[in-house]
Amino acid sequence: MEGTKEMGLRNVSSHCSISEMDDYDLLRLLDKPRLNIERQRSFDERSLISELSIGLTRGGLDNFESTYSPGGRSGIETPASSARNSFEPHPMVADAWEALRRSLVHFRGQPVGTIAAYDHASEEVLNYNQVFVRDFVPSALAFLMNGEPDIVKNFLLKTLCLQGWEKRIDRFKLGEGAMPASFKVHHDPIRKLDTLVADFGESAIGRVAPVDSGFWWIILLRAYTKSTGDLSLAETPDCQKGMRLILTLCLSEGFDTFPTLLCADGCCMIDRRMGIYGYPIEIQALFFMVLRCSLAMLKPDAEGKEFIERIVKRLHALSYHMRSYFWLDFQRLNDIYRYKTEEYSHTAVNKFNVIPDSIPEWVFEFMPTRGGYFIGNVSPARMDFRWFALGNCIAILSSLATPEQSLAIMDLIESRWEELVGEMPLKISYPAIESHEWRIVTGCDPKNTRWSYHNGGSWPVLLWLLTAACIKTGRPQIARRAIELAESRLLKDNWPEYYDGKLGKYIGKQARKYQTWSIAGYLVAKMMLEDPSHSGMISLEEDKQMKPVLKRSSSWTC
């Protein structure tokens, strides 16, 4: 972006450490006055500013990693998320901020997170009264964008303390670096003492530990650093050790021949049995993003240098694997349709021995001639052709997707709007699995019936990820359209957790009301669309040094 040059920002390599960022004037930016746009501007002037801010090239932003994203406002009365192209903030904004603040959780007098849902009308509380690492991310981004970073810093430090706990599930010890899925504050009225109680999966449905909690923690640490310019937190010995422990778990070598992470069902946002075991796209995209975030934040000292070297090698292998084998467009689908099977040696085209007859019929109708996406899973003799929203959005934001692939994903969303968006953004997965297949894949899960919950349900929280992806690819009009759909229902329906039905018409049959990440996701989407520079805290520019996709296996010449 030309604007970054005028502000005195230089292009920051994603391979530099936090300690080296002084060379890129981030600290100097802290002393610069923040941009304060007057609310009284005329409609035409504000529209022009909006278009200048969002007028990106089709290839996306060029200098995301060098963009400093300060949050410059605070308070419920003047939220940062007023609509750029309207005279007054949408009435939902003030309600959303009030609801978000009502969900705050305090520990020894300090805010440390937000509970999952504030639905006191529900008879079953279950674990919705806890602070989930995954769920808190959009809340944290909202507070950062609104100039309130303290709660995010408190959350990062408290969860880091929990990482060091001994974690056992049915007498089996988890890896040292595992982050909790959630925690709650226990108050002892007799001793007048607050303590934190963490859940690493030992209380979860299915007893599955979350793989993504540690990933979201690192992503949020980078977002905090980008938003505040506070380099000191990530450089502390505790944060450096926390990152290394997480990386130790996911960079460990074993019998797997793929650079992707082997995971169980229920290890991420889709936390129930949904047939995503193996190498789910959501985890692989988050893994890629975390490796890049860690590369920018790890100090190149004696301990960090080894991890940096391992990360660089893994990134090259992972990007090649994902872009080559997980990517699906019209041409690629036609190639798979014509695959030969039982091929052997390095010259094999059908490397995973996928049987063409296993391609589901719906894919042929779903795939447009322009557009594409990363499929849900790839493993020996198996391709899960389902669309998963979070994985594809993160692929764009992390630059796992090439600029061409990023635009193709947006083309697919536009051309398949009714299927993927309908009347409420955004389908978590598409299509729903039904009948006999549903019985086998989900184990007859009554919550994941067709077009409900994780099985093709619509989740408002995904609005912020869609908006960030739209901004990066220069398609803000898609985000505006999605936000307008959400604004027509969310407040009236009391901020549900998810919606059911092919078009997302119906409030989820077991959806909690006042779901915190539905509220925060809306606020983050609004604030990013108002000020696209905010997306810099959650988006990574393309790494120019990343090797391009190879036309044939690198083992060909071995």
E strand or H helix at 365, and its extent? helix 361-366
Rounded to two decimals, the pTM is: 0.84
Instruction: Render the burial of 410-421: b for 16+ CB within 10 Å, e for the rest.
Output: bbbbbbbeebbb
Contact 372, 330 (CB under 8 A): yes
**Residue 68's pLDDT is what?**
52
Q: Are 35 and 7 in contact (CB under 8 A)?
A: no
The verdict on whether omega for the bond into residue 426 sits within 30 degrees of 0, i.e. cis, is yes
Can you name the residues that pair with 173 across neighbouring β-strands?
Answer: 168
Predicted pLDDT of residue 119: 81
User: Rounded CA gap, 386 and 433, in Å?
Assistant: 10
* Six token digits for residue 186: 């226990």
Structure tokens at 226: 């980008």
Give the DSSP H or E segment for 373: strand 372-374
Per-residue pLDDT at 71 = 52
φ and ψ at residue 397, rounded to 5 degrees: -65, -30
CA atoms within 13 A on the CB side of 394: 25
Q: What residues have CB less than 8 Å from 145, skipping those under 6 apart?
A: 69, 71, 80, 81, 227, 524, 527, 528, 531, 534, 537
pLDDT value at residue 453: 98
CA dihedral 218, 466, 267, 385 (to 10 degrees): -130
pLDDT at 285: 98
Longest dimension (CA), the chain: 71
Q: What is the pLDDT of residue 221?
A: 98
Output the pLDDT for position 307.
Answer: 97
* Domains with residue ranges and CATH for the chain: 91-537 (1.50.10.10)
Nearest to 221 by CA among 543, 541, 537, 540: 537
Secondary structure of 506-554 in the HEC alphabet?
EECCCCCCCEHHHHHHHHHHHHHHHCHHHHHHCCCCCCCCCCCCCCCCH
Q: What is residue 479's predicted lDDT score, i.e. its pLDDT?
A: 98
Residue 18 CB contacts under 8 Å (≥ 6 apart), including other chains:
225, 231, 234, 235, 296, 297, 298, 299
| pLDDT in the model for residue 167 | 74
**Average pLDDT for consecutive 10-residue bins of the chain (558 residues)?**
37 39 36 36 34 37 44 41 51 96 96 92 77 98 98 98 80 87 93 92 86 98 97 97 96 92 96 97 98 97 94 97 97 95 86 93 97 97 97 98 98 98 98 98 97 98 98 98 98 98 97 97 97 97 69 40
> Token pair of 286, please?
């988050």
C-alpha angle 63/478/451, rounded to 5°?
120
Confidence at residue 548, expressed as pLDDT on a 0 to 100 scale: 52
What is the C-alpha R_g of the chain? Answer: 23
Confidence at residue 73, expressed as pLDDT on a 0 to 100 scale: 42
- Would you state the pLDDT for residue 547? 53
- Give residue 368's pLDDT: 96
